[in-house]
A and B are shown apart, each in its own frame.
Chain A
């Protein structure tokens, strides 16, 4: 690789990392404001104009707090766990294409950090690693609440990752590629060429599974504060706790970006050919991606303040007895349709 290519990659990595962290901050602020608005309150509005500096104030507070490591914990694992959760959460965004190609310095630059040819597998693998962070945190804390939180998270993962994977399989069947770029390219053109219109059932299953994957309400059983104090992060404090916090939001961002990429045409704007518009096309595609992602991030918060938490057996029942058969049936129908059309 030449020097310019290396610099471009470095810039892209930094850009994506900074954008993700900034979105995490915005999400922490948005979560508090939106929840307040939905409850008829105003929420934090004192730090900076309309309170937008609140997450920074919170961050400073986290840094200043004493970092407590309880006596009975398994120290190396206890320290490792937040990193195991946060790093995959930040890494996942690397394969997601967030805009059409841009031409700079006489070369075409894809707006994507790494064009992995098994992009979806990479995403699924990394989100699975993230759950290890939760399980390790739960186990190493040497506390019953943390352990229960970790256990629940593990069980939840097994039952939902399956349905999520199967929902994704039907998308892969349509596009014929595991590459996220190909999936986006496959959805370009009309509004109805977006996968959400071709695969509505897969979309609903994927969306529900994503909420379980990111440990958000109505599936936040691993940190159900009414029953488990704080779940897996009960024993954590200061910067380690804030790492769990950031990881949760980073996971949400990745999940929203993935939903957009798989079902809502990625950076695609219907009826417009972005690649023919040059720099404006790129800007248009990036803003369309951000807009779509913003909607799904808002949906995360919106759903959180609307639905009550599932009971544990209900969660399992939904995962194994409802979503799994429907996802399998959906694959069967999709495959059958594709085979028949190929024969004709």
Chain B
């Protein structure tokens, strides 16, 4: 909450300057304010992001090396950085992953790959800096794409509808966090659940499981809405991160609507290359979902969680020919909610032993 308030406080001058400064200084003002924010919150993250931005830019656009070599070095460094950070976090829980690192590493991997594909050619350093130092999406995404970012900048103009939409998104985002997440799902419902009698162990466990996952979803969706709202106020239309995922009727559809920026990234840069190379889509799914799990934390619970998501998608593939009736759709929605929430038990409790205890209660295993 404190971080959110600080983001909004830094965003206010950014928005004011975005529409009062001459256009040639606007990007610079955004870079400076974002830089100040991240330096204030996490000097380590500021140092890492600055090094990556300048280093990657000069490597990809100025270094005199064959293109594949440049891209290979860039990707190797980026992957090494994120894996090291995650491993350090796993080993020493007092080590906190530098602010936003998981997201800006992925953004830079995207930039590197698109440079290799020729979709990004000799772009100015300023645009690359502005892309990396973009406050709204810095901390928890969405993982916006570089070409869209530049296109939005080029088309940027005073747009009342964007402002109104931006304010609306921010209000809805705050409402998801405050009303649904904090008030109902973190306070009222847990209180109601704990007031159920001693005999309702299964019901209490089940409701707690659902509540925890829905709370995480609404909090994350709320922060994404705020990020999208602030971006709109700056004149940028950033990609959506959620599209009513719990209305999906199978796990494949769920993952096309849940944390969309991450799943789109993984689909484009992990799933598609693997599936096309090996001609085995399911292999692609299992590897991609494992990486999504490990992207959160490099631990066994998150790996198992990723594999469970992959298995859910596999089940969707098996049942893909079932009739698209009202009944099937709603049964599917119930399945998706329960499957996802139950799969999250393993990461909620962090220890496999404790998670197994909960599963025993939920599945009536003595």
Q: Do A and B come from one complex?
A: no
Name A residues whose Cβ lies closer than 8 Å to a Cβ of B: none
Interface residues of B (CB under 8 A from A): none
